[in-house]
Amino acid sequence: MKSLLLILATLAVASSPALAADGATLYQTKTCWSCHGKDGKKTILPDYPKIAGQNVKYAEKQMLDIKSGARANGNSAAMKGVMELVNEDEITILADYVSKMAP
């Protein structure tokens, strides 16, 4: 019985889109690359942030704040629409991915 429960729990986690997704795929499909560059360093406009190597907790907080509206300054308006496309699990995955990009 324990084995069956473990298998079912593993399948449930693996089938969750956010947990099964990897950061690189999310970075592409959620269009992060279009403003921040494919490498997180070559931004579309000079005042957009280079995000490669950013601290994981900082990146996650900024995305959550933009999504919730707590941050509404600077270029955050440009991000607001994109943040509607991601859920909190995906934000966590994206923040981790960005933090591991070579600065």
CATH of the domain at 91: 1.10.760.10
Residue 1 lies in a domain: no
Task: Indicate the number of domains in the chain.
Answer: 1
pLDDT at res. 75: 86
- Please state, rounded to an integer, the average pLDDT across all residues of the chain: 86
Q: How confident is the model at residue 25 (pLDDT cuts 50, 70, 90)?
A: very high
Mean pLDDT across 27-52 = 96
How is the chain classified by DSSP, letter by letter? -HHHHHHHHHHHHHH-HHHH--HHHHHHHTTHHHHH-TTSSS-SSTTSPP-TT--HHHHHHHHHHHHHTS--STTHHHHHHHHTT--HHHHHHHHHHHHTS--
Residue 17 lies in a domain: no
Show the domain range for 71.
Answer: 22-99
Q: How confident is the model at residue 12 (pLDDT cuts 50, 70, 90)?
A: very low
Mean pLDDT across 37-50 = 95
pTM metric for this prediction:
0.79
